[in-house]
Each structure stands twice: as structure tokens, then as C-alpha cells.
Amino acid sequence: MPAPKKYPVEMRDRAIRLVEDLLADPDLGLSVTGACSRVSEQLGINRDTLRGWVKQAQIDAGTKPGLSSDQQRRLKELEAENRELRRANAILKTASAFFAAELDRPSPRS
């Protein structure tokens, strides 16, 4: 079970918009980390948390390379399915070996 979200979605979206606004201002010339530092102080959010949100938002928007949120979610689903299929395959191999051994035994004649 995933951990509960510490920050509401609205606050997260607002913080990302504020950072993007600061980055878009050419007069300030701030880096992502600098903009995140300013916004995080104002909103009381951890700077690195905010920087991760901004990075993921940039990836989702297509301005940076990487896996989008949808792709990450789908990858996790496929990995879980793969684990389950490997587990089922191991069970089936064990069962087939057991039944093959039963068939190879000579049956007692009465």
C-alpha cells in the first residue's frame, strides 16, 4: 500500500506553475534549483520534492527526455504482471515434475 500523499494535488500544481513562471522570466535567469528554492521557502515545501515535481512535469510536457507518468505507471503494472507470471510458471514446473515422477513409478500389482 503506497504512503499517503503529504501535499494536496492543488498545492503541487500551484507550486509547479510558480516555478515555471520564475523559469520563464528571462530577467531573473534562475536555474530550476534556484526557482525551486524560492518557491519552496514561500510555500513550505521541501526544495528537492518540488524539484522532482517540476522535473516530472517537464517530462510529461515533453520538454525533457524521460518516462512520462503514464509510462511509469504502465511499466509498474507490466513488471507486477511479469512477476506473477514467473511465479505461476515456477509453480506449474514444480507440479509437472511431481506428476511426471508419479507416472514413472511402477504401479504395485495385486
pLDDT tens digits for range 11-27: 999 999 999 999 998 89
Tell me, yes or no, whether 14 and 43 share the same domain. yes
pLDDT average, residue stretch 50-55: 95
Q: Each residue of 56-79: pLDDT tens digit?
A: 999 999 899 998 999 999 999 999
How far apart, in Å, are the Cα atoms of 71 and each of 4, 51, 105?
22, 20, 51
Spatial CA neighbour of 18 closest among 53, 67, 63: 53
**Full domain range(s) for residue 60:** 1-66
Tell me, yes or no, whether 78 and 54 share the same domain. no
Q: Is 39 helix (H, G, I), strand (E, B) or coil?
A: helix
Q: Each residue of 73-97: pLDDT tens digit?
A: 999 999 999 999 999 999 999 999 9
Tell me, yes or no, whether 13 and 23 share the same domain. yes
| 50, 67 contact by CB (below 8 A) | no
Q: Is 5 helix (H, G, I), strand (E, B) or coil?
A: coil
pLDDT at 48: 94
